[in-house]
Amino acid sequence: MPAHQSSSTPAGDPHRVRYLHLVAAARVAALKPTSEQQVADVVRVTVDDEVDTTTFRAIVTDVSRDHLR
């Protein structure tokens, strides 16, 4: 059984966080959600416990700002 990764930034790797952010943004753009909750759901599935709560919220806010105009 694989070990469950802790809920923190992936080994302090800002490149991984940036990659996850870009993937989440691409998925949101493709799905065209209509609410921040829908964006948060897409981001949650994308980051899957790889980032801490603050980073998760920052990604949701940033992606929402870009795609919920």
Which pLDDT value is given to residue 13? 86
CB 17 within 8 A of CB 55: yes
R_g over Cα of the chain: 12
Q: What is the pLDDT of residues 40-69, one digit of tens each?
A: 999 999 999 899 999 999 999 999 998 887
Rounded to whole angstroms, the Cα distance separating 64 from 36 reads 6
Which pLDDT value is given to residue 8? 52
Q: What is the pLDDT of residues 7-28, one digit of tens each?
A: 455 556 899 999 999 999 999 9
Which pLDDT value is given to residue 10? 58
Rounded to whole angstroms, the Cα distance separating 31 from 15 reads 24
Which pLDDT value is given to residue 30? 96
Domain ranges of the chain: 10-67
User: Does the model's pTM come out above 0.85?
Assistant: no
The conformational region for residue 3 under phi > 0 = left, psi -120 to 50 = alpha, else beta, is beta
